[in-house]
């Protein structure tokens, strides 16, 4: 057993295959690494430490997505350029104060043969990491630089698809391409899809995993979970995120600033007694694979910091049956119906966009917001995204790497 395989794992990531010598795609190249703290092997050795000084590989620089190379910045927080204190390598931020900062400049790519992407995704379209990869692919296509994706599992598994399309005019850094909210793809598969459907023309190489099956959730891989962003502490968080991230499009708290972000939500206008009624209404919907619990919590930072919020906590009882997007929509619809005078959609700027409501960016268009405002049933809301969901499930087969 190699020292970096000290954890017994079912799945070998793209990084593990490279370090095991099974994929020689990095040798003889000057590389930039687009990474964050999740870029570790089975023994938790980071890719920067593994490749720095390795024979046949030259590291030129590091690129950091949202939250930075070291992953310590909060959501939507600007990250500045810096120099890595361990290796001395320059670190270029791809998430600064302006939308222009999301895309690498030509000078950042100068002298590189390839950029290596190794970041753990969470399986929801809103997560910005894969769109940072898309920006890098576009820049590298223009510069004649190869992009190498070291693939990692979709922690929700790769079988299920849930949610609708992203309409023209609603694409942003929470959805540069029209894929469902829960897409069931790996980063490598998304890169392949976008390279073809958006005609990027990038010299793209994907190092696929070994041993991953689409039916596997993250726990089935036995890989160590490294927090990909400050508010994604566990695999449980990732499972609710495709639906509960919709709360970011409202003035409710999505639980940031607590120990269970996205697994609970609420607001100061909901009392604990009213939270019991909210839970009763949600249980009447008989949503699959989930139960609800009334809660009171006080966020310590970000939205509604220091304010006592009543609300609801989600407990997933069956990952196989759970429908995260439907559940998130049900939570918003129910709170809106019970508290129509207090409920508010977010109108402040969101992810560099201030002309479109945040909920419309997250949902891919205005239909969800308009339906909830009009009092549409949960069945009618779901029916609106079902055709696009089915079409994507069929179309994505072209770019799948795993059975």
pLDDT in tens, 209-260: 999 999 999 999 999 999 999 999 999 999 999 999 999 999 999 999 999 9
Enumerate residue ranges in the chain where pLDDT < 70.
1-8, 71-81
Question: Can you read off the two tokens belonging to residue 396?
Answer: 């994505």
Apex 402 CA angle, 397 and 403, nearest 5: 80
Give CA separation, 375 vs 109, 358, 382, in Å: 50, 20, 13
C-beta of residue 391 within 8 angstroms of C-beta of residue 183: no
All domains in the chain, ordered by first residue: 3-229 (3.40.50.12170), 235-365 (3.90.1150.140)
The pLDDT value recorded for residue 41 is 93
Entry pTM: 0.94
In angstroms and rounded to an integer, the radius of gyration of the C-alpha atoms of the chain is 21
For residue 314, give the 3-state DSSP assignment: strand
The pLDDT value recorded for residue 3 is 38
Strand order in the sheet with 146-150: 82-83, 90-93, 57-64, 29-35, 114-118, 146-150, 204-207
For residue 302, give the 3-state DSSP assignment: coil
């Amino acid at each position: 057993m190699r020292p970096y395989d000290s954890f017994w794992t079912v799945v070998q990531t793209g990084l593990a295959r490279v370090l095991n010598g099974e994929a020689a795609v990095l040798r003889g190249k000057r590389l930039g690494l687009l990474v964050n703290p999740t870029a570790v092997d089975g023994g938790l050795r980071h890719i920067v430490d593994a490749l720095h000084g390795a024979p046949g590989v030259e590291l030129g620089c590091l690129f950091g997505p949202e939250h930075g190379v070291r992953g310590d910045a909060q959501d939507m927080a600007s990250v500045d350029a810096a120099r890595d204190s361990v290796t001395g390598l320059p670190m270029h931020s791809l998430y600064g104060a302006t939308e222009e900062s999301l895309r690498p400049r030509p000078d950042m790519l100068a002298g590189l043969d390839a950029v290596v992407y190794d970041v753990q995704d969470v399986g929801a379209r809103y997560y910005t990491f894969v769109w940072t990869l898309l920006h890098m692919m576009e820049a590298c296509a223009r510069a004649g630089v190869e992009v190498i994706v070291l693939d990692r599992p979709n922690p929700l598994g790769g079988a299920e698809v849930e949610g609708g399309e992203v309409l023209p005019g609603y694409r942003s850094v929470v959805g540069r391409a029209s894929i469902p909210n829960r897409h069931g793809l790996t980063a490598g598969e998304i890169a392949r899809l976008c390279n073809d459907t958006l005609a990027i023309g990038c010299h793209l190489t994907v190092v696929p995993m070994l041993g991953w099956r689409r039916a596997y959730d993250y726990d089935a891989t036995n890989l160590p979970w490294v927090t990909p962003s400050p508010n994604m502490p566990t695999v449980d968080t990732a499972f609710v995120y495709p639906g509960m991230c919709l709360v970011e499009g409202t003035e409710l708290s999505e639980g940031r600033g607590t120990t269970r972000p996205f697994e609970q939500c609420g607001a100061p206008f909901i009392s604990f007694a009213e939270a019991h009624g909210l839970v009763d209404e949600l249980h009447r919907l008989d949503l699959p694979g989930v139960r609800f619990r009334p809660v009171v919590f006080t966020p310590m930072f970000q939205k509604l910091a220091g304010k006592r919020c009543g609300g609801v906590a989600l407990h997933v009882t069956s990952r196989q049956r759970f429908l995260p997007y439907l559940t998130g929509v049900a939570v918003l619809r129910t709170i809106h119906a019970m508290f129509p005078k207090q409920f508010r959609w977010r109108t402040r700027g969101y992810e560099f966009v201030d002309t479109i409501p945040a909920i419309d960016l997250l949902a891919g268009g205005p239909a969800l917001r308009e339906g909830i405002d009009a009092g549409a049933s949960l069945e009618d809301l779901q029916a609106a995204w079902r055709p696009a969901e089915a079409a994507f499930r069929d179309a994505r087969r072209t770019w799948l790497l795993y059975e």
